[in-house]
Structure 1
């Protein structure tokens, strides 16, 4: 899909938000309210939520997935 390189600080909390458009074609991603990535893909009509960290440790809390049809 897409990726972005970020330098994050240890011990700091961040808010990550990804919201699919109603049409399912656009997926903007924000970190602490600032846009960091946007993906356009017409195949995004359904899916699942996943979080992955490469070569490091991370703690996640308050993960929510909401939606309506």
Structure 2
């Protein structure tokens, strides 16, 4: 799995951080998504997929090919 984020799309809702805190964080000043792990371990894949699905801005992209 390969994860990318588009910080320009991010609205700072924070759902990704709640669902996968080992993979996502938020900027302290603006709340914009920060990617902590672009290739998370398999045990986090379900949480990352859910985070991408619930992101209101569609700022998270998940590729299963990596």
In the superposition, the TM-score normalised over structure 2's length comes to 0.26
More helix by share: 2
Q: Which has the higher contact order (CA 8 A, sep 6+)?
A: 2
- Bigger Rg, which one: 1
